[in-house]
Amino acid sequence: MPTPAPAPSAPARASRPPFDGYALAGTALALRGTPYRDGGSDPSGFDCSGFTQYVFAQHGLALPREVREQFRLGKAVKTEALAAGDVIFFATTGPGPTHVAIAIGGDQFVHAPSTTGVVRVERLGSSYWAPRYLGARRITN
């Protein structure tokens, strides 16, 4: 009696590597010193949402361009549970989310501040940022 042919295997599914918040934070930190540029979204100059969009894209995750649209993504994260790679939102120029940054661990985040700033690290608990903090989101693949 002939041996039956093996059953066809299931088609391979494309899979993404697991999300690595520390690697993402490392990418963001490598951009420290990049100048602020209104509307900027590449290493020649960033605004805040262009910065987060660019960093996440380097890890295969697409973010919308606007701060308010980024705020709608992912899962809400409590402040005490913040982890590297979480996206942090602030109300700086009006009500609702107007500024975005990337958590790097502990009380620190990296962002592209406005006007004469450069991409830099700051503390969430600072007297400027703490009262403007709106919340954080975890965006994973």
The count of structural domains within the chain is 1
Cα–Cα dist 24/29, whole Å: 9
pLDDT at 2: 54
Catalytic residue ranges: 48, 99, 111
Domain assignment of residue 58, yes or no: yes
Q: What are phi and psi of 114, to 5 degrees?
A: -80, 175
Query: pTM of the full predicted structure?
Result: 0.86
Domain assignment of residue 47, yes or no: yes
Domain assignment of residue 16, yes or no: no
Domain assignment of residue 131, yes or no: yes
Beta-strand pair 133-138/75-77: antiparallel
Those residues whose C-beta lies under 8 Å from the C-beta of residue 50, and which sit 6 or more positions away, are 39, 40, 41, 42, 65, 112
State the pLDDT confidence band at 135, using cuts at 50, 70 and 90: very high
Residue % of the chain over a pLDDT of 90:
79
Tell me the per-residue pLDDT of 40-89, one tens digit each, with 9 for 90 and over: 999 999 999 999 999 999 999 999 999 999 999 999 999 999 999 999 99
Q: Could you tell me the end-to-end alpha-carbon distance of the chain, in angstroms, rounded to an integer?
A: 49
Q: Region 18-29: what's the mean pLDDT?
A: 92
Rg of the Cα trace of the chain?
19
